[in-house]
């Protein structure tokens, strides 16, 4: 379809349409079409797949996707699609494609900071940038990851030395593996979902040692990394009886009320996402003509990009298509 204007819309995932058509983080993977999956967090994986369909993703993302369903998906050839590390979790990728004469970079979730053994995402020059906006408000600025990591380590050491166990809440994919590295010296346990997630992303270069805690009696004061939804499993009671000090790591720890909402004693603002300043610097370094924000505080981020960088920016809204005219 030569001459077709570049259009970006939120439909079956983020759709980039023109002389080529791509779907990023689609809800349904169909037999036909080009589908790219950025990473293995459940809000980016498809809800439905067609058996025998194909996607472009990292090996890690594909393994995590196929672990969830009987219908297996294969790796598609990546012709015309460039992949870059997104720095967000194991196997997370950004994609750049050429559509109707314009280069378009889709970030999925990204983290440009190097943290705990993850190399951060590096900016890529592009005409159009589609960027996540999870922390797209100026108030979300995190302290350096290594500072927070050592605060977590000190806190855990303190509690264990008092003979009390620690439960540390983190999402099974991403931050849990960061915490396994940070707390390696304490030989951490992992609950079932963290253990399973870790088994899927571990590689020779990154062995991520951890012991499975499945509600069993453990003698010494111990630290267990668990998913925020452990509370809905049978093991929640077994853990509560040990009276652990409950910690959490999340960017949302900057919000007052977060600790109470999650029911923890202490929360640390450690995130696998870009903070607000990271987002602005990343956009600037990509030198785009146009930015499309989505996934989070999209309105706020688009506004701030226009104000601070003077770059045209707009949020991606369900049901609205962005016809891009240059």
Positions that interact with Zn ion (CB under 5 A) = 41, 43, 109
CB of 317 to Zn ion, least distance (A): 17
Closest CA relative to residue 91, chosen from 283, 288, 272: 272
For residue 320, what are the contacts with CB-CB under 8 A and spacing of at least 6? 9, 10
Instruction: Give the shortest CB-38-to-Zn ion separation in angstroms.
Output: 8
Q: CB of residue 28 vs Zn ion: minimum separation in angstroms?
A: 18
Distance from CA of residue 59 to its chain's centroid? 16
CA 84 to chain centroid, in Å, comes to: 14
Beta strands across the sheet bearing 21-24 = 35-36, 21-24, 13-17, 7-11, 321-323
Q: State how far the Cα of 204 lies from the Cα of 139, in Å rounded to an integer.
A: 39
Closer Cβ to Zn ion, 116 or 151, answer by number: 116
Which residue's CB is nearer to Zn ion, number 6 or number 291?
A: 291
Shortest distance in whole angstroms from residue 18 CB to Zn ion: 25
Q: How far is the CB of 99 from Zn ion (least distance, A)?
A: 23
CB-wise, 15 or 109, nearer to Zn ion?
109
Q: How far is the CB of 41 from Zn ion (least distance, A)?
A: 3
Nearest approach, Cβ of residue 183 and Zn ion (Å):
22
Whichever of 41 and 246 has its CB closer to Zn ion, that residue is 41
CA–CA dist 267, 252 (Å, integer) = 9
Closest CB to Zn ion among residues 45, 290: 45
Query: Measured between alpha carbons, how far is 256 from 316 in angstroms, rounded to an integer?
Result: 28
DSSP states of 71-108: S--EEPP-TT-EEEE-SSSTT-EEEEEEETTEEEEE-S
Residue number with CB closer to Zn ion (244 or 251): 251
Residues 10 and 246: their CA atoms lie apart, in Å, by: 38
> 21-24 and 7-11: which strand pairing?
unpaired
CB 19 within 8 A of CB 2: yes
- For Zn ion, give the closer residue by CB, 43 or 79: 43
């Amino acid at each position: 379809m030569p001459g077709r204007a570049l259009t970006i819309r939120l439909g079956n995932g983020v759709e980039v349409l023109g002389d080529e058509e791509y779907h990023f983080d689609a809800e349904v993977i169909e037999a036909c079409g080009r589908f790219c999956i950025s990473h293995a967090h459940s809000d980016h994986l498809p809800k439905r797949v067609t058996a025998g369909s194909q996607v472009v993703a990292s090996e890690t993302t594909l393994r995590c996707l196929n672990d969830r369903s009987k219908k297996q998906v294969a790796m598609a050839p990546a012709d015309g699609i460039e992949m870059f590390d997104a720095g967000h979790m194991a196997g997370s990728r950004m994609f750049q494609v050429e559509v109707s004469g314009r280069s378009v970079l889709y970030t999925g979730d990204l983290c440009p900071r190097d943290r705990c053994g993850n190399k951060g995402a590096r900016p890529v020059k592009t005409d159009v940038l589609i960027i996540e906006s999870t922390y797209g408000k100026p108030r979300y600025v995190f302290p350096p990851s290594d500072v927070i990591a050592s605060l977590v380590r000190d806190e855990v050491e303190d509690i264990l030395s008092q003979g009390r166990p620690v439960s540390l809440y983190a999402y099974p994919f991403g931050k849990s593996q960061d915490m396994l590295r940070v707390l390696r010296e304490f030989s951490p346990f992992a609950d079932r979902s963290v253990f399973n997630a870790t088994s899927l992303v571990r590689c020779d270069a990154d062995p991520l040692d951890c012991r499975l805690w499945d509600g069993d009696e453990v003698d010494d004061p111990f630290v267990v990394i668990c998913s925020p939804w452990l509370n809905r499993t049978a093991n929640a009671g077994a853990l509560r009886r040990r009276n652990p000090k409950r910690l959490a790591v999340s960017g949302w720890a900057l919000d007052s009320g977060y600790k109470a909402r999650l029911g923890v004693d202490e929360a640390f603002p450690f995130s696998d996402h870009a903070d607000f300043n990271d987002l602005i610097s990343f956009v600037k370094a990509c030198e785009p003509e146009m930015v499309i924000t989505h996934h989070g505080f999209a309105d706020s981020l688009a506004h701030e990009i226009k104000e601070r960088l003077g770059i045209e920016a707009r949020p991606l809204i369900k049901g609205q298509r962005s016809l891009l005219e240059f």
